[in-house]
Each structure stands twice: as structure tokens, then as C-alpha cells.
Amino acid sequence: MSISVKNISKSFKKVTAVNDVSFEVKEGELFGLIGPDGAGKTTIFRMLTTLLFADKGTATVAGFDVVDDYKEIRNNVGYMPGKFSLYQDLTVEENLDFFATIFGTTIEENYELIKDIYVQIEPFKKRRAGALSGGMKQKLALSCALIHKPKVLFLDEPTTGVDPVSRKEFWEMLKRLQQKGITILVSTPYMDEAELCDRIALIQHGKILQIDTPQEIIKHYPKKIYDVRADNMYRLIESLKSFEHHYSVYPFGEYVHYTDKRDDFNPQELQQYLAANDHQNIKIKITKTTIEDTFMELTK
């Protein structure tokens, strides 16, 4: 096991940030902690990167105990904190060089590992990090976290504040890193990114709701989900919520996701109900379950 967490809890004054959390990450796995802001993701990261002590429970990273062998862990992990912690007044190259030096290595030595990522920002290597776009900062931060060839990589919300194209590229990079044998623990509030992980843990209010592969988690969703839309979306939600057989109703992108209490639900019936309620351009179609639906269901 690359990461093993057993029953850890952590409170700050009266707030319980992490509550009896256990999970394991296999070597070379891309594992996602999925949950909204304030779910306790960052606290878990900080405990695993030896920055915080757990109140209860134990954890090991790369075989080292996070309390007793913290020095070993600090040599063997790469950590990219939530805000890209770069030196804004140093150039791209100076940042990378600095992190290489403090980890006792050089850019040349591990260039192979970061090459894919670094070539994209190399044209700007004389630019100060503060003047980079969000996507470029993210790539630089990842390069810095990787430069010493860590066994385990911790990425805390690496795609927050980054444009969709860069986000997609970023996940492709993670997949490639994984193939090089690096274990990756990543957290994200974006449910659509969850499906790109090997396994995920859904987390809210410091508790893990479910751990499995994204496919399994989706498969276990008990209901059929329908995309519903009409001209007046706000009124549509109101109407759906007052429909007597509704099970859940929540906005999802440009649609409303609707599930029915009955197993033999006929969309035609809903169509008539909505038409009777003066809705125009009604569209109802069955859709694929996503992680977000599961999450909504679990936190219901």
C-alpha cells in the first residue's frame, strides 16, 4: 500500500474537520478525494504530508509513519498545496531550479519526468511566476512538485481556478505520470473529474460516504435519471418539486435532473403534468448517471 489511513480524526477547536476517516491507496493508483469545499480534504492532505498531527488514528505514506518517520516522508513525497505556492517574484526557471536544489537534485537529472509538462511553459521560462496565467502556474507548480521524482504525489485541488482546456490537459498529464509508477492522491470539488480517477472517496463534513471505482459508484445508483428542461427553468423546478411522485429534483447544467419514486415511471405522464402547468418547450429524456448524482443522493 502506498498510502494507508486508519481511523484518523482531526478537530480545530470545536469544528470536527476530519471524522474517523480510513482509506488505502495502492501503489501506482490515481486516487481522488471528491467533496465540496470544507469537506476536510485539505486537512487530510496536511496530515498525510506531515504538516498536521491527527488527533486520533494512524497513517502511513510510502511505508513511513506520518508522525514517527516524518523526515523520510518529506524526502519522498511531492506536495502541491491548494493555492499554487510558487515564488511570484522568481521566474519560471528560477522557481523550478530552487525546488530542484532544495530537494538535492537538478532540473537536468529529472528532466525526463517533467518534460511533457515543462515544455509547455518553457517558452516563458524567463517570465516571473506572478505574471503567468492560472493554467501555466498550475503546470509550473506541478513541475516543481515533481522535480525530485517523488514516490507519492499529493495534489490538493490542482484544477481550482484553471480554465477547462488546461484542466483537461492536466488530467491527461496525471494519467501519464501514473504510468511512470507514481502514486497520486488528488482532491477536487469538480465531480466530472472524479470519473478520471482509478478509485475515489466521496467525502463530506469530514466523513467518507463511499469508496469505490467511479464505475461501481455510478452502477449502484438506484434510480433512473431524466434530463428535464423548459423555457422557464426556475418555475420548472418549482413545478417538479410539487409533482406528487418526485423523488429528487436539482439543477444540473442546462437541465434539471429528475428522479421518480416509482419504478414504472412513464415520462409521458410528467410531460402532461408540466404542459398542464403552462410550461413551454418541454423536453424530457433519460440520461446517464454521473458521480454528482450519486453525491447528491448520498448527501440527501
Partner 1 sequence: MKRFIGFIKKEFYHIFRDKRSLFILFGMPVAQILLFGFAITNEINNVDIAIFDKSNDATTQEIIQKISASKYFSIKQNITNEAEIETVFQKGRVLAVLVFEKDFKKNLTKDNAAKVHVITDATDPNTANSITNYISAIIGSYQKGINKNSTLEYQIETKSRMVYNPELKSVFMFVPGVMTIILMLVSAMMTSISITREKELGTMEILLVSPLKPFQVIIGKVIPYIFLSIINAVVIVILSIFIFKMPVQGSLFLLALESVLFIITSLSLGILISTVSATQQTAMMISLMGLMLPTILLSGFIFPISSMPLPLQIISNIIPAKWFILILKGIMLKGVGPYFIWKETLILIGMTLFFIALSVKKYKIRLE
Residues that bind partner 1 (CB under 8 A): 46, 49-53, 70-71, 74-75, 77, 79, 81-83, 85-90, 94, 97-99, 101-104, 144
Q: Are 274 and 236 in contact (CB under 8 A)?
A: yes
**Cα 99-77-130 angle, rounded to 5 deg:** 35
Q: Where are the alpha helices (DSSP H) in 36-133?
A: 41-48, 70-76, 92-102, 111-121
- In total, the chain counts a number of residues equal to 300
Tell me how crowded residue 130 is: count the other CB atoms within 10 A of its CB: 12
Amino acid at 77: V
Cβ proximity to partner 1: between 86 and 284 the closer is 86
Give the nearest distance from C-beta 54 to partner 1 in angstroms: 11
Q: Which of 89/172 has CB closer to partner 1?
A: 89
Give the residue with the Cβ less far from partner 1, 14 or 288: 14
Residue placing its CB nearer to partner 1 in the complex, 11 or 204:
11
In the bound state with partner 1, the residue whose beta carbon lies nearer, of 74 and 168, is 74
Question: Nearest approach, Cβ of 89 to partner 1 (angstroms)?
Answer: 5
Backbone region of residue 242 per phi and psi (left: phi > 0; alpha: psi in -120 to 50; beta: other values):
alpha
Report in angstroms how near the CB of residue 72 gets to partner 1 at its nearest.
10
Nearest alpha-carbon partner for 149 in 118, 182, 116 = 182
Nearest approach, Cβ of 184 to partner 1 (angstroms)? 16
Give the integer Cα–Cα distance in Å for 294 and 217.
7
CB of 88 to partner 1, least distance (A): 7
Instruction: Name the phi and psi angles at 75, rounded to 5.
Output: -85, -20
Q: Cβ(209)–Cβ(203) under 8 Å? A: yes
Q: Which is nearer to partner 1, 141 or 240 (CB)?
A: 141
Q: What is the DSSP letter of 170?
A: H
Given the DSSP bridges, would you call strands 183-188 and 152-156 parallel, antiparallel or unpaired? Answer: parallel
Q: Which C-beta is closer to partner 1: that of 101 or that of 133?
A: 101
**In the complex, least distance from residue 81 CB atom to partner 1, rounded to whole angstroms:** 5
Residues of 187-197 as b/e, b for ≥16 C-beta within 10 angstroms?
bbbbbebbbbb
Q: Closer to partner 1 by CB, 145 or 209: give it.
A: 145
Supply the minimum distance, in Å, between the C-beta of residue 4 and partner 1: 19
**What minimum distance in Å lies between the beta carbon of 122 and partner 1?**
20
**Cα first-last separation, the chain:** 33
